[in-house]
Amino acid sequence: MIDLADLVTGGQVLRVTRWGEPVLHEPTVPVTVFDEELHTFLRNMFATMAAAEGVGLAATQVGDNRSIFIYHCIDADDRFHTGVMINPVLELPEGKDRQLVADDEGCLSLPGAFSSLARPSTAICRGLDHNGTPIELHGTGMFARCLQHETDHLSGMVFGDRLSDRSRKRLYADHEATAYRYPTEWPIEPKGEFDPTQ
């Protein structure tokens, strides 16, 4: 058994994969081994998420096809949640309990671009923690959106797949307009500040 506090520091920053790379568009495989290799990988994920200033990160976003995501995200009551979710199963409200909220959403794998997307305002996510212990997360506000966004990643979906054609084209245009800030090896290589074409 290892404490979560031992995973959130000391990792190595990895390159964030980009939309279009196959690993981001294929379903992940369940995790069955909870060992030091996994814990080292999780440390690297936390280091990468911090370097990229993200609130969530799926394993596919660093080129790994295991069913894992991590999070450091605030909820509707301004409480931060930090942890690891492995082999998640998402439960969304239905019927009269289902309330959609539209808000700007972005993705570290398409950096610099955001689009409004309506998602359910609450979500429950069940799975395993970093030690293989069953856990259940209840998300509200941004944390609910994070749970849905990251679980989508593990099924091979990016949030652009949920947008209309027009919104998706605008999203890609926004990404292209700021692409100069995000080198191929970002966030291993830091963001650029000035457009070299100007």
Place of tokens 């570290």: 108
The burial class, CB within 10 Å (0-12 / 13-18 / 19+), for 74 is: middle
| E strand or H helix at 57 | strand 56-58
Q: What amino acid is encoded at 90 in this protein?
A: L
Residues 6 or more apart whose Cβ sits within 8 Å of residue 133: none
| Catalytic residue, candidates 26, 136, 150, 193 | 150
Q: Are strands 122-128 and 80-91 parallel, antiparallel or unpaired?
A: antiparallel
Closest to 106 in 3D by CA, of 61, 76, 137 = 61
Q: What amino acid is encoded at 141 in this protein?
A: G
For residues 152 and 125, the answer to whether their CB atoms sit within 8 Å is no
Q: Is 136 annotated in the active site?
A: no
Active-site residue list = 150
